[in-house]
Amino acid sequence: MHPQEVHIRTGSVMLNGSLCVFPEMHGVVVFAHGSGSSRHSPRNKMVASYMQHEGFGTLLFDLLTPEDDASALNRFNIDLLTQRLIGATRWLHHQPGLGGVPVAYFGASTGAAAALCAAALMPQTAAVVSRGGRPDLAMQSLPDVQAPTLLIVGSEDQEVLQLNEAALDALTCTKELAIVEGATHLFEEPGAMQQVCRLAAHWFQTHAALAENA
């Protein structure tokens, strides 16, 4: 499985991405990176590689252009990030053979807020996984999310854990909060990211497979 570099036209901008698709995949996991990051995020690339081996296609792309990223405010502009994610999803569905493929979102930090907002606007979304996410930045959209949602937080990331607990209460869909013991915000501790991969893969296998067979 070799990802190909792609250029995603959405609105008036072109976003760079890395797409990996193959026959008989369960669906495609679209990644929404956090503030100050990009499609080259080593943690998201690690998760993407794991998903590919578990039978999922992946799309990692830059939510912001270099010009956008020059302004720190854009990194926290959830409306902008959401529209870029929706645009990338629509682009994906227009690619040959991918029109009806189930799409799930994996969001980190502010990207998780964008993923939840996008899922609220796109009820066909198969599933959402948030890693160390800021779902509180999507609080108004959470009651409209229909996609089964898994929130993954490190036990030592206390402030973000509290924000995720509040978000869990606001979600009305199938939902779960998974706490990785001993992990901080970036899951840099030994074995922490491996646990994130396993949790996310199980969630996608359970819920994207349901979407695939719907």
Quote the CATH superfamily of domain 4-212: Alpha/Beta hydrolase fold, catalytic domain (3.40.50.1820)
- Tens digits of residue pLDDT in 70-94: 666 667 789 999 999 999 999 999 9
On whether the CB atoms of residues 199 and 173 are closer than 8 A, the answer is no
pLDDT per residue rounded down to tens, the chain (214 residues):
678 899 999 888 899 999 999 998 999 999 998 665 557 678 889 999 999 999 999 999 988 877 776 666 667 789 999 999 999 999 999 999 898 899 999 999 999 999 999 999 999 999 999 999 999 999 999 999 999 999 999 999 999 999 999 999 999 999 999 999 999 998 999 999 999 999 999 999 999 765 665 5
Domain boundaries, the chain: 4-212
Q: Which residues pair with 131 in a beta bridge?
A: 108, 152
Handedness of CA 10, 15, 16, 20 (dihedral sign): negative
Both tokens of 207, joined, read 């819920």
Burial zone of 63 (CB within 10 Å; 0-12 exposed, 13-18 middle, 19+ buried): buried
On whether the CB atoms of residues 125 and 119 are closer than 8 A, the answer is yes
